[in-house]
Amino acid sequence: METSTPPASGLTPEALKTYREHLTCSFPQLDDVFADCMTEAAALLSPTGIDDYLDGASLVCMIGRGFEPVLTYLENMPRVAKQVGEEALPLISQAVWKMSRTPNGRAIPGFLQTIAEVTRRLGSLQQLQRYVDLMFDMMARTTRSIHGFHDTIPSPGMPDLLEQIPFLLSQLSLEGLRNWIDYGIRNYGDHPERQRDFFQLQSADSRAVLQRERHGVLFMDHERKLDLYLWAMWLEHGEEKPYLVPYSEGFDELRKPQPYFDNLGIRVPDVYDDRNGISGLDRYRALLAHIAGHWRWSGKVIADNFSPFQRIAMELFEDCRIDTLVMRRYPGLRRILLGLHPKPVEDACDPKTESCIRHRLAMFSRAVLDADYDYSDPDIREFADRFQRLLAEGESSTKEMVSLAASFVARTRRQSDQLPNVRFTDTVVDYRDDNRSLWVFIEMGDEEEMFDLNEKQVQEEDSPESGLPPRHYHEWDYNTQTFRPDWVSLYESLHPGASPALIDDLLAKNAALAKRLKQILDMLKPQQLVRVRYQEDGSELDLDVAIRSLIDFKTGHTPDPRINMSHRTSGRDIAVSLLIDLSQSVADVPAGCQQTVLELSQEAVALLGWAIDKLGDEFAIAGF
């Protein structure tokens, strides 16, 4: 990386003038920012670098995309060059120029805007070069021509992709990004709308491929372990295990979703990275332990009479009680829970400028869970003490926590708690759920949000898929010889009951065939080898019996001549699962038939079902 000795602050008017003459660009807005940009450039770049910088800016100016690309270039490039080397300057300006010679000029501002962030993420010129190559590769493969002569139609996904780049790179390595883009192009290269969906991260498979390329512990890889964890450590024998439903944290930028549980199951993040030396798997376990603690020990509280602050405090006090009980039951979880719990610093929050309510509560939480933490705040000390006393005798209760939290809020309330600038640093305990299950609302709809919630719930109940959430399956793509992850969405539901008379009719109609079918199935070879002893003729000598016969012979008894043994198979271990195509096409009548495919398959299935039932094997029918 080349650097130069930065000149003293400010540039002489002469120098500025020379630079301005070097830059061939006549946008009037340029003059407003030029001096500032040049001051920064002069401070960060070598003289050769400055020449390249100005040459580059002239080139960007010439592409005819207005002033914005020029400004982006001028503002960002000095820092980019400082970080990865001045070779980045021509690299980027040439790339922009090249891009302007294609139908993808529209993407140039987006491209330039990503450069600063990309450089920060990737950190080397080589990586930046790879990134630029990657973008050009993507562009070339998705730009379409009409008659095969010229590239005429711009890449549909390019602008969307550029918009997502900062997020993508925060999730993926460059290699992962390349694989993700590759996948999108391969599958949606010829389909502009779906290509856009993919690059906007809207489609399910787009998110799934992103997950595949991502680091951390994926829920899907450990689902069984977590089920076992619940069974082994938190459920009583025979208790039904709640369903675990993953959600993604990656797509809500403003407000990250939090885990929660309701009667449909437990929502957990789809991926957990290791944090503070706690493995992702253990983070899942901590979350499940906390939630299991809630449903074991938490009661319901009527929410209507409490203010939002009181509710926050009550939730936190109850969370602390649950964590204490969890650690009491399994002391080894202390390391994991405390490892994940933030360590708020006592004076970190300034009540003059910030709302400290969350900070104060987080300090309380740390103080009651971790005996090593000792805050000097008298209120926190006193309430921590009261909390410990309540729990010393037993499990305490949600009700006691509610009243303790209410007095805590009354005692520690400050005017500044109302400030919109809430301190969140070191206050988020990420293994805790959002506590929605704690509250009961008598009056629904006092606040606007509640209206929304109601409507959503109603919609959810109305929708036909209100049963189980969909299961996603991979589908093999023979063209690319890879799996398309989560390509198939499967909604499971039980078939509604109907009259069995129809099936009886079908069976009566085909009685003769049914009989033959049963004979055929009966002849299916049973499995499981069993030794048959005491055979006069067999495949092997049975030594025990042979010796006994010899002894009989010697003692004057009649020896048993059945000294051989053989093997036969016995028992059946057959289960039949039948998957039937019930799509639109089966309503057709094949050529030369009077019945539809559906009717034919009904008959066939009825017969098969009957035959298998007679044989006593397990049988299941599924349709799609």
Partner 1 sequence: MSTQDTGQYKITQEPFYEPQGNEVDLYTAAYASRLPMMVRGPTGCGKSRFIEHMAWKLGKPLITVACNEDMTASGLVGRYLLDADGTRWLDGPLTVAARIGAICYLDEIVEARQDTTVVIHPLTDHRRTLPLDKKGELVEAHPDFQLVISYNPGYQSLMKDLKQSTKQRFVALDFDYAGAALEADILVKETGTDKATAEKLVKVGITARNLKGHGLDEGISTRLLVYAANLIKGGIGARDACRIALVRPITDDADIRSTLDHAIDAVFET
Please choose, out of 69-77, 343-351, 476-484, 552-560, the segment that lies near partner 1 by the rule CB under 8 A. Answer: 552-560
Contact residue for partner 1 among 8, 47, 149, 224 (CB under 8 A): 224
DSSP 3-state percent helix, strand, coil across the chain (nearest 5) = 55, 10, 35
Q: What x/- string results for residues 116 through 135 when contact with partner 1 is judged by CB under 8 A? A: --------------------
H or E element at residue 457:
helix 448-462
- The strand pair at 144-145 and 151-153 is best described as antiparallel
Which of 91, 563 has the CB closer to partner 1? 563
Which of 224, 352 has the CB closer to partner 1? 224
Which of 237, 525 has the CB closer to partner 1? 237
Report the nearest approach of partner 1 to the CB of residue 235 (Å): 7
Does residue 237 bind partner 1 (CB under 8 A)?
Answer: yes
Contact residue for partner 1 among 47, 64, 148, 331 (CB under 8 A): 331
Q: Which of residues 59-88 bind partner 1 (CB under 8 A)?
A: none
The number of beta carbons lying within 10 Å of the beta carbon of residue 346 is 13
Does residue 616 bind partner 1 (CB under 8 A)?
Answer: no
Contact residue for partner 1 among 7, 106, 202, 231 (CB under 8 A): 231
Please choose, out of 100-108, 232-240, 350-358, 391-399, the segment that lies near partner 1 by the rule CB under 8 A. Answer: 232-240
Does residue 312 bind partner 1 (CB under 8 A)?
Answer: no
Determine the 3-state secondary structure of 485 from DSSP. Answer: strand
Bridge partners of residue 490, in order along the sequence: 471
74 Cβ neighbours under 8 A, 6+ residues apart: 33, 34, 37, 41, 57
Report the nearest approach of partner 1 to the CB of residue 581 (Å): 33
Q: Calculate the dihedral angle through the C-alpha atoms of 158, 163, 167, 173, rounding to the nearest 10 degrees.
A: 30
Does residue 575 bind partner 1 (CB under 8 A)?
Answer: no
Contact residue for partner 1 among 8, 146, 232, 494 (CB under 8 A): 232
Q: Where do the DSSP E strands lie in 492-574?
A: 529-535, 540-541, 564-569
The number of beta carbons lying within 10 Å of the beta carbon of residue 620 is 10
H or E element at residue 487:
strand 482-490
Question: Residue 14: is it exposed, middle or buried by C-beta count within 10 angstroms (0-12/13-18/19+)?
Answer: exposed
Contact residue for partner 1 among 26, 415, 555, 584 (CB under 8 A): 555
DSSP assignment letter at 526: P
Report the nearest approach of partner 1 to the CB of residue 554 (Å): 6
Does residue 571 bind partner 1 (CB under 8 A)?
Answer: yes
Instruction: Work out the widest C-alpha separation in the chain, in whole angstroms.
Output: 131
Q: Which of residues 265-294 bind partner 1 (CB under 8 A)?
A: 281-282, 285
Q: Total binding residues for partner 1 by CB under 8 A?
A: 30
H or E element at residue 520:
helix 511-522
Report the nearest approach of partner 1 to the CB of residue 186 (Å): 34
Contact residue for partner 1 among 1, 228, 502, 621 (CB under 8 A): 228
Please choose, out of 91-99, 115-123, 202-210, 547-555, the segment that lies near partner 1 by the rule CB under 8 A. Answer: 547-555
- The closest alpha carbon to 427, from 325, 355, 374, 375, belongs to 355
Task: Quote the crossing angle between the two packed helices 30-44 and 47-62, to the nearest 10°.
Answer: 150
Euclidean distance between CA atoms 119 and 165, whole angstroms: 12
Contact residue for partner 1 among 150, 411, 516, 557 (CB under 8 A): 557
Question: Which residues lie near partner 1 (CB under 8 A)?
Answer: 224-225, 227-229, 231-233, 235-237, 281-282, 285, 330-335, 544, 548, 550-552, 554-555, 557, 570-571
